[in-house]
Chain A
Amino acid sequence: MSDLYLRNRWFEDIPVGEFHVFGSHTFSELEMVEFARQFAPGPEFADPEAARSLRWGGLVASPWHLCAMWMRKMVDYMEVYAQGVNDGRRNGAGVAIHDLDWLEPVRPGHTLTYTYEIISKSDKVVRDRWGVVRSRNEAFNQYGNKVLTFEIDILAERGESA
C-alpha cells in the first residue's frame, strides 16, 4: 500500500490529528560552534570559553540550529518511510512558519526529541495542484522540557480526484 509511505501520500490522504515522534539528536559543542560561526556569531553561541562568563553561564545552541536539525530529522524520517518508492515525492516546499518559540537554552550534550502533529488542512489550492497542510512541531530535551515549538505550512500535492 503506497499510502503507508508518508512522503508518497496525496494531500487528501494526510489525516488531521496524525502525530509522530520522528527523531532525536544530541548536540555537540563542536557542531554548535560551527553553526554559530556562520549564522549567530555572538560569543554566547560561538565561543565556549567566553560564553562561561556570559548570560547563560556557558555555550548555548543558536536558535535556528534547532530548527535546521528539525528539517534534517524530518527528511531522514520521510526517507525511511519512502524506502523502495520510485520517486513518489508529493511533499512540496514549506511556505510559512508561525508562532516559533525557543523556550529553554540547549547546551552541549543535550538531546532533543522532535514531534509533529497535523493540525489543519487549508481549502486553498496553490498553483492548481497543491494543498497546504499545517503541523505543530515541538522538541523536548532529555528532561522532558519543551525547548522549541512552531507551526509550519507545507505544500502537499492534491490527488487527481480533487
Chain B
Amino acid sequence: MSDVKTLTSGVIALDAEAIKAFASLFDPQPYHLDQQAADNSIFGGLCASGWQVAALSSRLAGEALREAGMTYITTTHVDSMRWLRPSFVGDELMARISLGEQSPGGPVPDAHTQDLTVTVEDGAGHPVAEMQCQVAVAVEGS
C-alpha cells in the first residue's frame, strides 16, 4: 500500500436532476437550471455548477483513498483548482489521483496531511477539472 502512487476512482454519472437540484440551491444561473437556456448559452448545454464538480472531486478522491486503505477524512487545503471544460448531463465523472508527500500533523486532529493531484475526467477521456490539494488522513488507531 505504501508504494501506491496513483489511484483511479469510481464513477459518478451526472444527470439533469442532480445538476438542477444543486444549482437551485447553490448556483441558480440559467445554464445550470434550464435546458433551453443552457443550449443557447456560452456553454452550449446543461452543465453542472463548478462547485458541484469541485465537491464531487473531493468525494471521488476520498473514496479512492479509502479503497486503497487510507482513512480519508476531509480536504483541508486547495493550492489550485482549474475548471477545464463544462461537465454536461451524461458525463461519467471519474478521478485520477496522484499521491504526493505525506507529512505529520495538520489542521485536523489525529490526522496526517497527504498531498494530492486530482484530475477529473468526463468518461470520454477529457479532463474537466484539475485540483492540487491537501487532505487529512486518519492516523492509524485514532
On A, residues with C-beta under 8 Å from B are 35, 38-42, 44-45, 55-56, 62-65, 67-69, 71-72, 75, 92-103, 150
CB of B11 within 8 A of chain A?
Answer: no
Cα separation A72 to B78 with both chains bound (whole Å): 20
CB of B42 within 8 A of chain A?
Answer: yes
Smallest CB-CB separation from B29: which chain A residue?
A75
Cα separation A99 to B132 with both chains bound (whole Å): 10
Residues of B within 8 A of A45 (CB): 74
Indicate which residue in B29, B52, B62, B76 contacts A40 across the interface (CB closer than 8 Å).
B62
On B, residues with C-beta under 8 Å from A are 22, 25-29, 42-43, 49-52, 54-56, 58-59, 62, 72-83, 107-111, 142
Q: Nearest Cβ distance between residue A40 and chain B, in whole angstroms? A: 7
CB pair A71 B51 closer than 8 Å: yes
CB pair B82 A96 closer than 8 Å: yes
CB pair B58 A64 closer than 8 Å: yes
Q: Nearest Cβ distance between residue A153 and chain B, in whole angstroms? A: 9
Cα separation A64 to B82 with both chains bound (whole Å): 15
CB pair A55 B78 closer than 8 Å: no
Specify which of A62, A71, A99, A103 lies most central, judged by the most chain B CB atoms within 10 Å of its CB. Answer: A71
CB pair A40 B80 closer than 8 Å: no
A-B pairs, top 10 by smallest CB distance, nearest first, are A64-B55, A100-B78, A39-B55, A68-B26, A96-B82, A68-B51, A55-B109, A72-B26, A97-B81, A71-B27
CB pair A67 B82 closer than 8 Å: no
A-B contact pairs, 10 of them (CB 8 A): A39-B56, A44-B73, A44-B74, A55-B109, A64-B54, A68-B49, A72-B27, A92-B42, A93-B50, A102-B77
CB pair A97 B74 closer than 8 Å: no
CB pair A96 B81 closer than 8 Å: yes
Cα separation A56 to B26 with both chains bound (whole Å): 26
Residues of B within 8 A of A68 (CB): 22, 25-27, 49, 51-52, 55
